A = this chain, B = another copy of it.
Amino acid sequence: MSEIASGVSPDGRRLRGERTHQEILASAVELGSREGLEALTIGRLAAHAGVSKSGLFAHFGSKQELQLATIEAARAIFRAEVIEPGLAAPEGPARLRATLAAWLDYFRRDVFPGGCFFQAASLEFDGRPGPVRDRVVEVMEQWLEWLTELARRAGLAEGEDPAQLAFELNAIGLATNWQRQLLGDSATLVRSEKAFERALANARSAHGRGNPLNVKEADR
């Protein structure tokens, strides 16, 4: 007896409820990327998804649970759109390049209609303690670690720190999304691509060691 026939989806939920659940989450990701995770109110989301407020609420015990579930849904999309295409390339510099190309393409195609879900969520929740912030931090740390791992295996020059390259590449991605969403500048993607290549070339040939600005080393 298949799970479909028994009316149970893989994770144990019944069919009708599970479909609504997924539709709500799709709406939530869209609205959340457009207006932010906090502006994603139960009432507006219910209207947007075509269900009643209490019907929606029954799927998530609280607004916080809804936000957490929305983050997981967005994370799955990011993984499918950026991480997986990168994994299709052979390990080494090619995989790093493929990941960066997939990232740019993810921006170009506006996978999230309001811009990168996680950058928006990061800045929205960086000052609000709680489980939502904690989860956003986790996801972002994983992303940076993943970038660092890709950099480490990309054949950097002697003495180059993969975390430094990951920081620089991530910076370019953040700026790409920022500039695209805010200024709608169509030249941005070309600049981003060039910036990626520069940062890569720099770390792989190691001639970019300038003298520092006059900033104290001590962090607060």
Contacts and interface: CB of A to CB of B under 8 A. Distances in A.
Contact of A202 (B181, B196, B208): B208
When all copies of this chain in the complex are counted, the total is 2
B197 A210 contact: yes
Given A127-B114, A163-B191, A198 B210 contact: yes
A84 interface: no
A76 interface: no
A187 B212 CA distance: 15
A175 B170 contact: yes
Contact of A207 (B104, B163, B186, B207): B207
A105 B215 contact: yes
Contacts of A1: none
Q: Is the interface of A mostly helix, strand, loop or mixed?
A: helix
Interface stretch (A11-19, A20-28, A56-64, A118-126): A118-126
A39 interface: yes
Nearest to A136: B182
A101 interface: yes
Interface string A191-214: 111111111111000011111111
